[in-house]
Structures are given as C-alpha cells and as structure tokens.
Amino acid sequence: MSDGYDVLLRDGGIAHVRPLLATDREALHELVDRSSARSAYLRFFTGGRNTAHAYMDRITGPGYHGHALVATVRDELVAVAEYIPDGEDGGTRREDGRDTADLAILLDDAVQGNGLGTLLLEHLAINAAADGVRELTADVLPENETMIRVLRDLGLESVRHAGSGTLRINLDSSPTPELQAVVEARDHVAGRASLTRVLAPRSVAVIGAGRDPGGVGHKVLRNLLDGGFAGPLYPVNPKADQVAGLTCYPGLADVPGAVDLAVVAVPPQQVLDVARDCAAARVAGLVVVTSGFAEAGRPDAEGELLRICRSAGMRLVGPNCLGVVNTAARLNASFLPHAPARGRVALMSQSGAVGAALLDRLDVSSFVSVGNKADVSGNDLLEFWEDDEDTDVIALYLESFGNPRKFARIARRVAARKPVLLVKSGRSGAGDRAVRSHTAAAATPDVAVDALVRAAGVIRLDSVHELIDTARLLAAQPLPRGRRVAIVGNSGGPEAMAADACERHGLVVPELPAGLVKARSAAALGNPVDLTADALADEIGAAVAALVGADEVDAVLVVYTPPFGSGLEETRKAVVAAAEHADKPVLACVSGHDGLIDGRVPGYAYPEQAVEALAQAVRYAEWRTARAAGAPAAVSTTAATALATTSSAGEVRSAAREIVGEELAARPEGGWLAPGAATRLLACYGVSLVESADVTGPEAAAEAAAQVGLPAVVKAIGPVHKSDVGGVRLGLRSPEEVRRAYEEMAERIGSEMTGATVQRMLPPGVEIIVGGVGYPAFGPLVMVGMGGVTAELLADQSFRVPPLTTEEAVEMIRELRCSPLLYGYRGAQPADVEALAGTVVRIGRLLEDLPEVAELDLNPVIVTTDAAVTVDVRIRVAPCDPQPSPLLRRLR
C-alpha cells in the first residue's frame, strides 16, 4: 500500500489515498494555510493555525507513532487523517486493556462535502480493526455538527460522552453489516456519479476529427450529428477550419465551452499529450478509440495514460475501443457502421467485433466498448446501470475479470433487481500444477467463474447467440412464476421438439384441463396443443389468450410454421394481441424467423432456442425469489452455533491461523501439512477425523491398531494419491496383519513413504469427498462430490463460493448425480445429509478464514445413517499476499 490507491468521491471525482510520508511536511503546512480560521478552530480547538502548524511538524517528525493517511486531488494534498493508539505518542492505555486509539482528520475547505472525509474515516477504521485496535475515540466540539453527523452515519457502533466543552465519540471499529451496507451504498453513488458525464454528457469534443469521411474521428463526429445529440459538439483538429459543417478548433484550449466527454481519435504517439490537454481543461471523461497500447506491446504507455486520467479525475474508456452509446441521450460517440436501435438492454463488450455483432441483433439502452479496459470496467457499468431507468437487462461480454470478488458483490445486488447476462470467453486452459489434490484438479479457473457468477445470480451463457436469445426474452416479457409451460401451435413435429427440450431443461409440460382451449379442429388439446396447419390466426390468438389466463400455466410458447393458416403477418399480429396484457411470458417459435415480433414478443427460429431462453429466465426467477425470501448470504445459524460451542469465531480463527503460521514459518514456500497438523486445523472448525494414530514402523503400527481398535486400516504417509501406489490396506483383523501390511507397503513405495496412519475400520456408508481450493483472484471454492478412488473418474461434483448456509450446502449435495445414494436409494436407509452439510459449511468457513489454504481434500467422508465421518485429509498451505478488505473502497 506504500504507493497508495485511487478512490471515487461522491461527486464522481477521483482522489489518491496513501500513507503519510515525512516529505509531506511542506504540503501539510500549505494545507493549513489554505484552511479557513473556522476549519482550523473546529479541528484544533482554541489553538487554531498555530497549533495546526506545530502538529504538522510533529506528525512528519521521527518520533511520530500514529497511523496517518493523506489524500491528493489533482496532485495536491487536500486531507490528512490519523489514528494514534493509546500508549503511543504520550497517550495512555485503558485500564480494561481494550486496545483504543484517538481519531482525527483535517480536510481542505475546497473538498468538503464530496465524501472524502467519510471515506478516509472508513479506511482508518478498517485499518485499525486489522491492527487490533477495537475502539476509536474522537473529541469533537459540539458546534461541529458536520463531523458529528459523519461519525454517527459511518456505519460503526458509537457512544457519545459529553465532556468539558467537547463531545467524546467512541466508535467500535469491528466491521458490522451496517458498515458493509453503507460502504456499498456510498461506493454505488460515487461510481454512478463518475460515469454520468461519460454516458450522459452535456457536451462532447472529438479530438482528431478530420475531413476524410473514412477517418475514425470523422465517423465519430458524423454519428454524433446523425444521432441528434442535443449538446454542443466540438471537433478538434489543428489542420481544419470546419468538419461536417461544424467549426473546428486547433486545440482543446481553444474550445469556447466546458467539455464533459472527449473522444480521442489521434495516432497513438499523440494520445498522451492529448490526455494532458484534457486534464488541463478539466474534462470529465475520455473515450480513447485509438489502438496501439497494451494490446500492441506498449503497457507502459497505457499505464501512463491511466495515471494522467486518474490524477486529473477523468474516467477512461478504452483505449482500443469502438466508443460509447446512450440511445436515451441520443449519444452515439462511436465509429459503429450503423446506429444502434433504442431498447431496454444495456450492453458492455470487451471485444469490439463481438459488440458490433450484438448491436446488429439487440436493441439497446446504452453500449460501452471497453477495449483494453484500462479503467472503466464491467463493475463500474453495473453500478451505473443498476439505477438507469432506461435499462431493464444488463448484458456483458468479458474476456477477463479485473476484480472478480468485487464483481460478485456488485452483481449479486444488481441481479436482485435486473437480470445480468454474461458471456465469458476462455473456458479452457486450466493451467498445470506440480501436485494436485482431487479438488484442485476439478476446480479449474472456469469452474471458479461458474461458481462465482452462480452465487451472484448472474446468468452465464455459452455463446453470443444464447445471450441475444435470453436478453430478448427478459427485456420484453415478465419473469415466469414457475416451470409449467403450455405449448400451442399449428405444427405437431416442432411442438414435440419443444416439449422434449422442456424436459431436458427441467421445465414441466403439464396436462391441461379439459375444455381450456376450444378449437374448430385440433389434433391434440392436452399439451402440446396442436391446432393443425388449418388453424387461422384468430384461433391461435384465442388459444394463447386462454392459456395466458390459466392458473395451471407459467409460460406460453407458440409454435407456428408459416405460411399455413392465415399467413405469417396475420398470425404474428394475433399472437402479439393475445400477449399484450399478459402477466406471464409469451414467446414464439416462428420457423425460419428470428427477432422481436412488433417489439413485444420474442421470436425464435427453432424450438430449442426458445426453450433454452425460457429455461434461463426460469432459473433466474427462482434465484431472485429465493433471495427475496431472505436466504442469508453468510454462515447459517446451525453452522455458526456449531462453530461457537466452545469458542468465539475470533478465537477459532486465531487458533487456526497459529497452526498455519507455524507451518509457513518452518517452510516458507508452503507444502502439505503433516497429518497431525491437518487434524488439529480441522478440529478448530469442529471437523473431526476417525480415531487414528501416526506411526513410523511396523511394530508401532501393530501397537496402534490394538489401541484404535480392530479391524484396522493402514494408509501410507507421503504419496499424494495413496491408492495408486498400493498405499491403503483395509480390513486388517489382527496386529500381525497390520505389521505385515506396513512392511509390504514400505517395500513397495520406498523412500516416498515417510510413515503411516492407522485407523479403526468404519462401518459401510456412502463415500463423499468434501474439498476446497483457493485462487488468489477469485478467492476460495468449496466442493462436494462422489468420493473415494472414483472421485476424479466419475467427476460428480458441485462447487460454491463460501461462506455457505446449511441450505446452500444441502442444495450442493442434491445436485450430485450420486445424491440418491444419500436419500435411501432402492430401499436403503437414508444417510445423515445434515451432518454432511455441516461439514461442507465448516470447510467453507475454514477457507474463508485462511487464504493460505491452497488445496484441501476430505476424502472420503463416510456418510452413514447417523454421522458423516472424515477418514482422510490432505491440506496444502502456501504463502499468499494479504487481500485488501472488501470494505475498502478503491479503484482497481
């Protein structure tokens, strides 16, 4: 953090936050000189500026022991905030031993009111909690109402004490759900404000607009004019007096008005100078369509472009992009060959070619081509589109995640209101590891993406075509309330295909009540409803209307093969009229025709297309219903109670971290934990193994078997996959058999075997694997699957992003193809699924608490009628960089 990080302010501006340096002394004195007498009085009380100057000397001197952050805006230091732990800098520690610190802040008058003070106090509190400081104390003058309000609304528990002329406010620095909620709300406001002048600018400059109609800059200007942008347009080109009938200016400094958005279409070697000109002119946002940066092997130039923009408070779209479009604002600041049609879908694409192809098939509210994604990303656009009244559906084409954990947090909130569709390229290429656990072998990066977006309620699609099909349905029709589909049309074959597709996707095609659909002649009225090729448009329309009104139906799929009956146009009109006031989705398969019918009913060329889109809508509606019902996103009450029976969550985490810390201290590069250490680590989270003993010789193995009980199991220590090398022997009925098993095992495996574990043989049950893997970018994943030696062969697994509730763990278990074995398959006694779910939840908690756990396998966990007992465990730990707190608001 020594270099600091950029943050968004409430008004959409950008500040840079970093630790205080001794070299900041002069800038701090200048800050004091700029401060009003009242600001100095409210911060330093009666001492005013004199005290302030002495204070700045002290905090930049060698004896300062506080923790201070400074903020700069446009490279000028505008704020300093600090906490000083009691007992340091002459302070005293509280008698009750609680770690406390004094809190203080000074802001430049020019930046007050834009949220910078609140943000700095948030970050100080988060840092203090991480440093073990549990209470922050601020002494405030009663008339300093602004500071009192900021501290009250910070999101931390606070207590006030009236003193002699001051008000003492004590803040508990422990993160709370309230803090998380207000931090997300503030981040959302700032993120939306930062893009408002990019996607809804009051004025636009096109830098590099030339006379050549084939030039990129000219195309951008022409699109802005043809699109009817209402604000001032400023072509900038030193070699032209006029472009497209508009006065052209030699430089941005010559433009007569303020510029919100600048589109940069100059050669790559000129872009940085143009960006500096935009910074001097206080432009709010840049769209750099020019290529030739990181994608062309010039990452340093792209980094410098971003630095210029961040220092000046400008948001950057691109470089190497097509531009931006907002159809509601009549803004087409792009060089697209065709003007996008206005619709209700907001679209972001990391690929220009994919974006252009999507715009040919989708009507959009806005479109952003992010190109190299140096700054503005999908996370930023989700924040903007969440509240956009012109957007009902959000569609993203991504080639990479900049901050996947933040994406998941934002998307989960946005998806509760609007569907978020994602096509993520790069499904293959897992990357090799020298040694893998079963879980790590299965948990490829693409599996991590799937688990991440599933937890967030994002609809992930395999192709651009599927994205178009699904977006059309969600933008034009209400969400289905269930899985029951009525199929009606004039072609029995395609209707049967639609019914088959429904079954494959888990949708239900129920038998309809007799007399619900009345027809002049029909081949079948049950469901599908085949009205035959002779059916006229009004008959099809009447059947659709009847099905829309039926309580037994959640969605209606019309299947029509032209030109039979009344013909294509009349039938389309009849379907649209019947669906006009429907409160459930109506969609159509019109053979050979794709696209919206009269802007209302989504049409598909093939039945499978229509059903796939409907199935996506059903699954999304079910996720949203479950979320609205209040399913918690944290550890469930049952799991939390189990973890807290003997100690608090903090004590559990502390004990576990001590075990991992000891291992990494002994082996800084990390490695597989010894069985004893792995057992102790699991015990911290209430996961116990079958009684066992680690031994290093045949005689010790025989003695251990007598202690743990017979029949016994002997497992080699050392090999990763013991069964593959003859390192597991089961059902040993005497100490002598155990002794021989150890000797034969040692002879077979050789020096790789460093000992053995002796366990009591468990009664038969269902063998399950519970595992985990940690990714530096995505965070941890939890896995449950079919266990034992068939774990990788059968590949029957389910993944989730922790933390998990018991209900979510049970859902994971039910997804397994082998799950009937746990629920009483063919008359067998049901296994203890709740106990297995508890183990899954505990492992999720362990992975959340310990990012150093890189791989973990409990394999097998034997699930019997009354327990879920872990038989074998492997845990690999590795050093990792500490992850910043998710509460710490910052730009990537």
Answer yes or no: are the C-beta atoms of 782 and 802 closer than 8 Å. Answer: yes
Q: Nearest to residue 877, comparing CAs of 837, 849, 838?
A: 849
**Element holding 197 (H helix, E strand):** helix 177-199
Q: Do domains 176-333 and 479-628 have the same CATH topology?
A: yes
Confidence class for position 691, pLDDT limits 50, 70, 90: confident
Give the pLDDT confidence score for residue 434 in this predicted structure.
37
Looking up tokens 């803004």, which residue turns up? 331
Q: Tell me: the pLDDT tens digits for 592-638?
A: 899 999 989 999 999 999 999 999 999 999 999 988 876 443 333 33
Regarding the domain delimited by 479-628, which CATH topology (the fold level of the hierarchy) does it fall under?
Rossmann fold (3.40.50)
Tell me which architecture the domain covering 176-333 has in CATH: 3-Layer(aba) Sandwich (3.40)
Q: Which CATH class is domain 632-689+763-892?
A: alpha beta
Answer yes or no: are the C-beta atoms of 233 and 246 closer than 8 Å. Answer: yes
What is the secondary structure of 404-422 as a DSSP string? HHHHHHHHHHHHTTS-EEE
Give the pLDDT confidence score for residue 438 in this predicted structure.
60
The token pair that represents 683 in the structure block:
């015990």
Give the pLDDT confidence score for residue 452 in this predicted structure.
87
Q: Is the peptide bond before 563 cis (omega within 30 degrees of 0)?
A: yes
Q: Tell me: the pLDDT tens digits for 236-252?
A: 999 999 999 999 999 99
pLDDT higher than threshold 80 for residue 416: yes
Query: Which range has the worst mean pLDDT, 527-531, 588-592, 721-725, 755-759?
Result: 721-725
pLDDT higher than threshold 80 for residue 426: no
Q: Could you tell me the residue ranges of all domains in the chain?
A: 5-175, 176-333, 479-628, 632-689+763-892, 691-761
Q: Nearest to residue 20, comparing CAs of 74, 48, 61, 54?
A: 61
The mean of the pLDDT values for the chain is 91
Of residues 469 and 860, the one with the higher pLDDT is 469
Question: Residue ranges of the alpha helices (H) in 762-817?
Answer: 791-794, 806-815
Region label for 848, one of left (φ > 0), alpha (ψ between -120 and 50) or beta (otherwise): alpha
Per-residue pLDDT, averaged over 560-584, amounts to 95
Q: Nearest to residue 635, comparing CAs of 618, 615, 649, 646?
A: 649
| Percent of the chain with pLDDT strictly greater than 90 | 76
Q: Nearest to residue 559, comparing CAs of 543, 580, 581, 546?
A: 543
Looking up tokens 């199929």, which residue turns up? 487
Q: Tell me: the pLDDT tens digits for 179-234?
A: 999 999 999 999 999 999 999 999 999 999 999 999 999 999 999 999 999 999 99
The token pair that represents 586 in the structure block:
């109506």
Regarding the domain delimited by 691-761, which CATH topology (the fold level of the hierarchy) does it fall under?
Dna Ligase; domain 1 (3.30.1490)
pLDDT higher than threshold 80 for residue 443: no
Per-residue CA distances from 234 to 197, 230, 240, 255, 570 (Å) = 16, 12, 12, 7, 49
Query: Residue 348: how many CA atoms within 13 Å on its side-chain side?
Result: 29
Confidence class for position 47, pLDDT limits 50, 70, 90: confident
The token pair that represents 517 in the structure block:
């659909």
User: Distance between CA atoms of 693 and 714, rounded to whole angstroms?
Assistant: 10
pLDDT higher than threshold 70 for residue 441: no
Give the pLDDT confidence score for residue 651 in this predicted structure.
83
Give the pLDDT confidence score for residue 474 in this predicted structure.
98
User: Distance between CA atoms of 575 and 812, rounded to whole angstroms?
Assistant: 40
Answer yes or no: are the C-beta atoms of 179 and 118 closer than 8 Å. Answer: no
User: Distance between CA atoms of 712 and 61, rounded to whole angstroms?
Assistant: 68
Answer yes or no: are the C-beta atoms of 556 and 584 closer than 8 Å. Answer: yes
Q: Which residues, in sequence order, are CB contacts of 64 under 8 Å at separation 6+? A: 58, 89
Per-residue CA distances from 546 to 12, 559, 577, 738 (Å) = 51, 16, 13, 74
Q: Which CATH class is domain 5-175?
A: alpha beta
What is the secondary structure of 139-162 as a DSSP string? EE-TT-HHHHHHHHTSSS-EEEEE
pLDDT higher than threshold 90 for residue 501: yes
Radius of gyration over alpha carbons of the chain, in Å? 32
| Percent of the chain with pLDDT strictly greater than 70 | 93
Q: Judging by DSSP bridges, how do beta strands 868-870 and 853-863 pair with one another?
A: antiparallel
Confidence class for position 428, pLDDT limits 50, 70, 90: low
Give the pLDDT confidence score for residue 640 in this predicted structure.
38
Query: Residue 683: how many CA atoms within 13 Å on its side-chain side?
Result: 11
Give the pLDDT confidence score for residue 427 in this predicted structure.
62
